[in-house]
Amino acid sequence: MKKEQLLDLYHQMVLIRRVEERGAELYQAGKIGGFMHLYIGQEAVSTGLIGAREPRDRVITAYRDHGVAINCGIPVNEVMAELLGKATGMSKGKGGSMHMASVEKNFWGGHAIVGGHLPIASGLALGDQYTKNDNVTICMFGDGATNIGYFHEALNLAKAWGLRVLWVCENNKYGMGTSVERASAVADIQQKAEGYSMKHSQVDGMDVLKVYEAAKEAIDFVRTESQPYLLEVMTYRYRGHSMGDPERYRKQEEVKKWQENDPIGIFRKHLLEKKTVPAKALDEIEAQVEEEVNKAVEFAETSPEPAMEDLFANIYVE
């Protein structure tokens, strides 16, 4: 991978981390409402994954979507403005934290019903199959979503019809506060693909380069074989499920153990050890991100509220 691309991946991961940290502060200050699910700890997953796509490949995910939005190329200003419910957010303040999207960036949403977007992902791929192109739809979801019916209907349809979907399970060990072992009959989630005779693999989600390589390979398989594929990415969220999580289900030692394996930390270490880039370049990125996020917060805070007439806008197209 070229130096510029490595630095870009680093930039994206640091940017997501900082957006989430500032988001948490703004939430505590009462400036962000509703549910908010932070991506801290999981940055390497979507950064590596989306880094491996071609622009024509579609991305769709669940409600933990701020990072995915950033990786897809949505400006941080719009992400922050949507969090604050402003008219300048990409969903014009109508969607909030869980409903970020951009048709232009080929990001088909943030979806808030667990597993609900999986059949929709099959549909995005169906649209591509119908128009006879070889775009790949990358559909991300949590471990919890693999226990709901949508998952099984979506994977079955994708396999039966040869739809180009890369199913990406972000296994962060807990569906809200219930561990995979307590919720799923099969704790080794990738095995569930066997039931649909679907190719699958598992990758370390704390290492952005491993995710990138695995995603490249999987996307290539999906595109050339016209078959779906299940990629299980092992990861961990450092913060609670959402902002209102008492975290009674895990011990702080467990969180600390995973934080030693921090995706940004290990990528930084990797880059420095390989002498790919000097520490100065990484420090500069961090300073740049700080400024970028400050500006985004300012943009969001000074942006206008949606107009009252927007209450009735976009209920129907016609």
Partner 1 sequence: MAKITMREAISQALMEEMDRDPAVFIMGEEVGVWGGTYAVTKGFYDKYGPDRIKDTPIAENAIIGAAIGAAMVGQRPIAELMTINFAFSAMDYVVNQAPKLHYMFGGQFQVPMVIRAVGGGGRQLGATHSQTPDVIFAHFPGLKVVSPGTPEDAKGLLKTAIRLNDPVLFIEHATMYQVRGEVPDGEYLIPIGESKVQREGKDATIVTYCKGLELSMKAAEDLSKEGIEVEIVDLRTLRPLDMGPVIESFKKTNRAVVVEEGWKSYGVGAEVTSRIYEEAFDYVDAPIIRVAQKEVPLPYNRTLEQAALPQPPDIVAAVKEVLK
Measured from the CB atom, the residue of 18 and 164 that comes closer to partner 1 is 164
Q: Please identify which residue in 1, 5, 33, 149 interacts with partner 1, judged by CB under 8 A.
A: 149
Spell out, one character per residue from 256 to 295, where the chain touches partner 1: x when CB under 8 A holds, - when not. ----------------------------------------
- Shortest spacing between CB 276 and partner 1, in angstroms: 38
Candidates 7-15, 84-92, 207-215, 290-298; binding stretch for partner 1 (CB under 8 A): 84-92
- The percent helix, strand, coil of the chain (3-state, each to 5) is 50, 10, 40
Nearer Cβ to partner 1 (29/315): 315
Stretch that binds partner 1, among 32-40, 83-91, 243-251, 281-289 (CB under 8 A): 83-91
Task: Count Cα atoms within 13 angstroms, Cβ side, for 224.
Answer: 6
CB of 16 to partner 1, least distance (A): 21
What is the rounded CA–CA span in Å between residue 145 and residue 147?
A: 5
**DSSP letter string, 90-106:** TTTTSS-TT---BTTTT
**Overall size of the chain counted in residues:** 318
Answer for the pair 25, 294: CB distance below 8 angstroms, yes or no. Answer: no
How far is C-alpha 242 from the geometric centre of its chain's CA atoms?
15
Between residue 89 and residue 148, which ones bind partner 1 under the rule CB under 8 A?
89-95, 99, 101-103, 108-109, 113, 116, 118-128, 130-131
What φ, ψ does residue 261 adopt, rounded to 5°? Answer: -105, 35
Least Cβ distance, residue 104 to partner 1 (angstroms): 9
Other C-beta atoms closer than 10 Å to the C-beta of 176 total 13
- Shortest Cβ distance from residue 196 to partner 1 (Å)? 12
The residue among 252 and 314 lying less far from partner 1, judged by its C-beta, is: 314
Q: Report the residue number, 185 or 317, with the smaller CB distance to partner 1.
A: 317
Minimum CB distance to partner 1 smaller for 131 or for 252 = 131
Pick between residue 166 and residue 289 the one whose CB is nearest to partner 1. Answer: 166
Report DSSP letters for 252-308, one per residue. Answer: HHHHHHHHTT-HHHHHHHHHHHTTSS-HHHHHHHHHHHHHHHHHHHHHHHHSPPPPG
Tokens 């128009």: give the residue. Answer: 131
What single-letter amino acid sits at 181? E
CB of 305 to partner 1, least distance (A): 14
Q: How far is the CB of 96 from partner 1 (least distance, A)?
A: 9
In whole angstroms, what is the distance from residue 171 CA to residue 293 CA?
28
Query: What is the four-CA torsion angle of 73, 206, 279, 8, rounded to 10 degrees?
Result: -20
Strand ranges, E, within the chain:
58-61, 107-110, 137-142, 165-171, 174-175, 178-179, 199-204, 229-234
CB of 245 to partner 1, least distance (A): 24
Cβ proximity to partner 1, 120 vs 219, nearer residue: 120
Residue 113 or 287: the one with the smaller Cβ distance to partner 1 is 113
Residues making contact with partner 1 (CB under 8 A)? 58, 89-95, 99, 101-103, 108-109, 113, 116, 118-128, 130-131, 149-150, 153-154, 156-157, 160, 313-318
